[in-house]
């Protein structure tokens, strides 16, 4: 599915057309086939009525032998099967092409060809033969349905052959229409994304000023040997605002289809090493064991900065949501051209009902705890948008009190 609104609408437009085209076509073919059958039945009924007066009863049973002999003498070629049955429905005579040798109204398969690869089907109609007020048998006429079947096949063939061209035409029209319809929405979305980026940049400017001022004040306090409690609080608050601004910028960039990041061939080890180094200090501080698998010698195509951020967010969360003395591990699994990066921890875990929401913006399982730990609920949204931009997948398994496992699956390159 395309990522932009216009592309998605066009694809839905085409899918809807294909569905309507084939279901409408199927209904039309069904109605047409029924009409063909009805007109065949009508002509068979007329034919039977025309032949009926020629039935003679000289031998006691109804017979069309004399009629057939006359037709043969005239060199008339019978295109329809004409059959005579006795009262009990047993066939007595058959003229013309081979037919289905039982009384039947509707479509039937010719007996001899029933087991053939291409069974011949006939349309059949019969009327009663009455002599002196008593029913003496039946007259049945049948005609091959080859022409009817060929006509239907022809229609199906035309429909199928035309479908890709029509789908293409619908795709072009759909793209044009949805382009027009979604332009204002896309423009508003672009404005909104730009607004987020601008707002985040604007937040960063005063923060830089606050940071610098705090530093100056700290130096002044230090020089004058004054005790100060408030400055670390200001520093922490400005740090949080900076982190929020940065997260918002990254997120809106990742979610903007217009944002093109440079993709290159990356060695997995080069991507993992700096991230692990960054997390080691915090893990050590919390006396956690950081277990890292041997990094496989593989390569992937991607944006190195984003992929590092993805791994950093997952590892940082694992360290953050695992109590002191716990274990955080990083595993790698290579299967064919797929790489699985597994970040596992023995931490607090995520309740089952929250699992579906952890990738949503600003979602935090335990708001106060997460905020105390410095989280905004944006880390996993960023991870998800990076994963999506790399056509990768992410899944999560977790048990409260036991730990969590985030699995990212990426495509490897040669």
Q: Which stretch binds ligand ADP (CB under 6 A): 102-110, 185-193, 195-203, 344-352?
A: 344-352
Q: Under rule CB under 6 A, which residues in 351-390 are in contact with ligand ADP?
A: 358, 363-366, 370, 375-381
| Closer residue to ligand ADP (CB): 97 or 239 | 239
CB of 271 to ligand ADP, least distance (A): 19
| Closer residue to ligand ADP (CB): 267 or 361 | 361
Q: Note the Cα 311 to chain centre separation in Å.
A: 28
| Closer residue to ligand ADP (CB): 70 or 402 | 402
* Gap between the Cα atoms of 163 and 178, Å rounded: 21
Does position 317 interact with ligand ADP (CB under 6 A)? The reply is: yes
- State both tokens at 133: 């007020």
* Gap between the Cα atoms of 411 and 393, Å rounded: 10
Cα–Cα distances (Å) from 350 to 375, 383, 409, in that order, read 15, 17, 21
Q: Which stretch binds ligand ADP (CB under 6 A): 69-77, 156-164, 261-269, 343-351?
A: 343-351
Of the candidates 40, 44, 139, 350, which one interacts with ligand ADP according to CB under 6 A? 350
| Closer residue to ligand ADP (CB): 171 or 276 | 276
Could you give the residue ranges of the DSSP H alpha helices within 224-303? 230-255, 268-285
CB of 280 to ligand ADP, least distance (A): 17
CB of 300 to ligand ADP, least distance (A): 23
Of the candidates 94, 255, 308, 345, which one interacts with ligand ADP according to CB under 6 A? 345
Q: Under rule CB under 6 A, which residues in 196-215 are in contact with ligand ADP?
A: none
Q: Which stretch binds ligand ADP (CB under 6 A): 48-56, 69-77, 168-176, 348-356?
A: 348-356
User: If you search the block for the tokens 């899944």, which residue do you land on?
Assistant: 395
Site string for ligand ADP, 388-407 (x = CB under 6 A): ----------------x---
Which stretches does DSSP call E strand in 10-90?
A: 81-86
| Closer residue to ligand ADP (CB): 248 or 358 | 358
* Gap between the Cα atoms of 401 and 405, Å rounded: 13
3-state secondary structure 90-114: CEEEEECCCCCCCCCCEEEECHHHC
* Gap between the Cα atoms of 145 and 316, Å rounded: 73
Q: Classify 393 as helix, strand or coil.
A: strand
Answer whether 125's CB lies under 8 Å from 44's CB.
yes
CB of 364 to ligand ADP, least distance (A): 3
* Gap between the Cα atoms of 6 and 176, Å rounded: 9
Q: Which stretch binds ligand ADP (CB under 6 A): 48-56, 223-231, 281-289, 313-321?
A: 313-321
* Gap between the Cα atoms of 365 and 358, Å rounded: 8
CB of 400 to ligand ADP, least distance (A): 9
Could you tell me the strand order of the sheet in which 121-131 lies?
91-95, 81-86, 134-144, 121-131, 106-109
CB of 356 to ligand ADP, least distance (A): 11
Give residues in contact with ligand ADP (CB under 6 A): 313, 317-318, 321, 345, 347-350, 358, 363-366, 370, 375-381, 404
């Amino acid at each position: 599915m395309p990522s932009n609104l216009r592309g998605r609408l066009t694809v839905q437009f085409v899918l809807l057309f294909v569905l309507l085209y084939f279901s409408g076509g199927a209904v039309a073919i069904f109605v047409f086939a029924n009409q063909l059958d009805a007109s065949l039945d009508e002509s068979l009924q007329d034919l039977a009525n025309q032949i009926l007066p020629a039935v003679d009863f000289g031998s006691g049973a109804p017979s069309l032998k004399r009629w057939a002999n006359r037709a043969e003498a005239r060199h008339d070629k019978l295109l329809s099967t004409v059959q005579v049955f006795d009262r009990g429905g047993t066939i007595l005579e058959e003229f013309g092409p081979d037919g289905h040798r039982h009384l039947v109204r509707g479509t039937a398969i010719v007996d001899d060809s029933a087991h053939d690869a291409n069974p011949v089907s006939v349309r059949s109609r019969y009327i009663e033969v009455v002599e002196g007020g008593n029913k003496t048998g039946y007259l049945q006429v049948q005609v091959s349905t080859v022409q009817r079947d060929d006509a239907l096949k022809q229609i199906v063939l035309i429909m199928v052959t035309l479908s890709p061209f029509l789908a293409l035409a619908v795709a072009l029209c759909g793209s044009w229409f949805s382009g027009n319809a979604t332009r204002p929405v896309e423009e508003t979305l672009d404005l909104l994304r730009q607004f987020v980026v601008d707002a985040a940049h604007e937040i960063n400017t005063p923060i830089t000023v606050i940071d610098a001022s705090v530093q100056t004040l700290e130096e002044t306090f230090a020089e004058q040997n004054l005790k100060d409690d408030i400055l670390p609080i200001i520093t922490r608050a400005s740090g949080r605002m900076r982190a929020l601004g940065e997260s918002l910028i990254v997120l809106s960039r990742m979610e903007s289809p217009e944002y093109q990041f440079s993709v290159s061939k990356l060695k997995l080890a080069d991507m993992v090493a700096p991230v692990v180094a960054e997390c080691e200090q915090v893990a050590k501080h919390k006396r956690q064991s950081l277990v890292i698998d041997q990094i496989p010698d593989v390569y992937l195509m991607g944006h190195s900065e984003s992929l590092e951020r993805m791994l950093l967010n997952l590892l940082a969360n694992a360290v953050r949501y695992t109590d002191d003395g716990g274990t955080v591990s990083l595993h790698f699994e290579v299967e064919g051209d797929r790489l699985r990066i597994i970040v596992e921890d023995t931490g607090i875990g995520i309740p089952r009902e929250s699992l579906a929401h952890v990738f949503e913006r600003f979602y935090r399982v335990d708001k106060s705890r997460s905020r105390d730990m410095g989280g905004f609920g944006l880390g996993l949204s960023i991870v998800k948008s990076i994963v999506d931009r790399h056509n990768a997948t992410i899944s999560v398994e977790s048990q409260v009190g036991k730990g969590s496992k985030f699995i990212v699956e990426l495509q490897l390159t040669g």
